A and B are shown apart, each in its own frame.
Chain A
């Protein structure tokens, strides 16, 4: 609550410019009722910056503005501004006034003068229109007419006092030498730096033939601001200042939803596929099937009905489609149905920043949920090395915020010994999943190997797999290790067939053994039966023996008795009765 109130108070002390990124850098805009200085070399965008401040003020913040043009005529400025989506003509009647103040070429000057005439006129006009914002574009033009430095200083202070009195939020633009932004105090109007409350430096430089624009807030009295140079582009809506995600801004919502990589076994290796809204980096040498792997992803996404943008820097969209169809990835139908949008550019035109803006525009126009950039390393081409890292970072931030699943390929340097080395973009550090493709040259063959170097938040296989491209698509095969060596391609096939033969032999042997055992078992059974019979016979014999023994004993006893009876002489006989 307290923070909200404080922010509210801070906002009222600032006049939002409505320029994407700039209000974030300055925590709310330009100092309200004060003067801001915008300096830059020719073509650095000073006029556009000033005009956009007024246009946005009129359109979005209900603050009327006056544009005082010292250099270009207002007609020319308006004509130039027609290329932006600003609806300038609608604003012209009430909210935006142009005042031409160019010194006429036939102007004759005799002696010293001052700006009172202009200021008096502006003051009257401002009172009528309830003007809140004013821009003095190219003030240096009129100051140059003044005879000496003292007179220039006097007029600048006059202007400054007047602005404070009128409580207008003001931008003064001045030309500055591009090469030495540090020595700004030595420039003719250096003292303006100390007078104003906010100072912005626009820089337009060419690095190895690539145009790079950046903006830096040099000072801002009584406010925090980002002190670094921020790249910007001038797009359809005017300025678009790139900002790195600020600390404390809400993180993009994370999800556990998985999306398929388009290759079944790869999904298994990743424990279910890529995460939705993750950034997947596929690195590899030229020809290691990076495009194919990303094409498989795009195909799978389109088959789910998710709108997909495929940005190709290496070759034309139609070429990509043709090439991928040879491995069973048919993208043409998705293009026809409108789910897939192919965008291609032979090289990166302009700065990496510009390219990022273009990709964003395309993705937004298409409503893309999945995005393939092939290869993203194109962003770090000559002239963009310095900025590409930041661009890649913002690409990631943006895709995460938009919940777009991003698959990027990146070309590894073939000369580099370390195949898994980082690209210039340092994407590998930022990517959620990093798949590396490489060649394994062995026994006169070159085969593709694939491994997952990292995959945040998912259990993933540590195995190197062989990537096989066939008419039916992409598959992964196990690879054999024999004697500490990895076997791929034909050697793997040989090994596989050898294994198949071995399995067959083993099966036959098993069968044979079974038969033998059966026979032995049968034989034993027969023997068992014989023994059992013998056993029974013995038992019978034993019983018979016992019986004959008993009867013989009885017979003997009976015989004795009979004998005694016959002899009749024994006295003992009656005893037994």
Chain B
């Protein structure tokens, strides 16, 4: 007979056999897990996984047998071969991710026994972890949570053997388990000791993330300029300095081979190498900076920081070029405190041989620029005393010579400075800065390139100052006698708006931001600010939760000098407390039962132990009859019978002389016969 429910829900899903429905659900979950990896695996891997999952779906829908082992072996060998071709290895992070995605899909072709299903589940859990190699953003976390709940739902569903339970029931149970497991997760997350990697990371653990580079070729920063990704966030203790002073110093590039700028590898012995010779004036600006992992050792600071940035476990040193460098690459979100003086002076004050490095130009490049240098020196005079005049002359030329700031300057040839000064007259910061430095050096003025970030914007929601990859910038420093290294930003001469104002050239956003931005630019900006504030909280509280934060937490809990052992104590203490609470709750719950019923049950259990057949739902009077029959007409049986009748009266008679307490006491005082007759 068809029940009304079957008639009502006669869609295709409800017509599938239960096995097929369960398999399809698992395939959907695995599909979701694999789909999230599409941006990070080779195209053939996504195609293969999709093909295998599609094939498996068709097999399920048609009720066909699973493919024989040669198929699986063939596909496995194909995968291994393709992985080798793509990655040139089968080991390591990227090859491993590629392999595990395909293996997860292939394993679905082998869902025969219970054990196979478990292998799929556990492989799935492991694949979830691999997503975090590439992104730990809030969105990734949400996607992973969904996948985890999906896997748990499938697992619960597999353990509901009766009938055809709706998937929603399994989902509810799984969600309940995860919700109850969340406090456990929280405690472990907060208190599980954060340790250093157990063994050396493979080399490829740190690739694939964008950031500044320690080399600069024309066109390289153009990519960064277009990148809306966040490079760092700053929260200033007081009001932020004017935006025109927000120069976050990165690598300083002094070595030019005609094509590429590189950091200086000084040709002088260490004792002759110049020192930073930093002198500061005025009040410092204190701030807390959260640096996105960039896999390099640079610690970006606002120019110029006299003291090393402070963070737990962070040791940093300053290069002669004022750059702060950490002992180890920044592989995870790093938060540090620093103080900077925007008014500062550095570098040797008098001419020194060490400055020779900042005068070197490769022979045979940019002949017209060299000629321009000769011409300018003839106009304004040579020698160190005329250097400021020469710098100003060049900046004037940039302002008035029809030079333009553009993100799309087109391709440059070998003589980039010549092309910039005379032919194209257009470019962005790195063309301008590079050409400026070349011209300065040609005029015998020591000059060098500084890369880093300039500017940023204030997030009105949480008060953080956000600096993006597109704020990456290249500026210059020229050496002037008596002043040391002086910052000159030639880009500001070409496009004053690029520096110090809020207007900037921004790349077109995605479809969503585009649509909202057209309708309501303010709303788009507000939405974005909220989203970034949420993201920032996520970064600050979750991703940046390190050993330092852990020990801080212990400090707040009252440990004066917290250590790993204290973490263990707190963890153990919590486990003990929870266990005690659980036991207490059980006791309390038992108290909640009707005390009269409890007394009756006690009596029943005792009588059962004495050999009476007294099922759970026996009334006191029925028990009394049984006692009479079992023990015969003895003194003991009369007393028990009487007691039972009084127990009944206590519950049902309008007036009973007894109280529960007296009855309980009497029951305890009852003298049981030594040898109860069996």
* Chains A and B belong together in one complex: no
Q: Which residues of B contact A (CB under 8 A)?
A: none
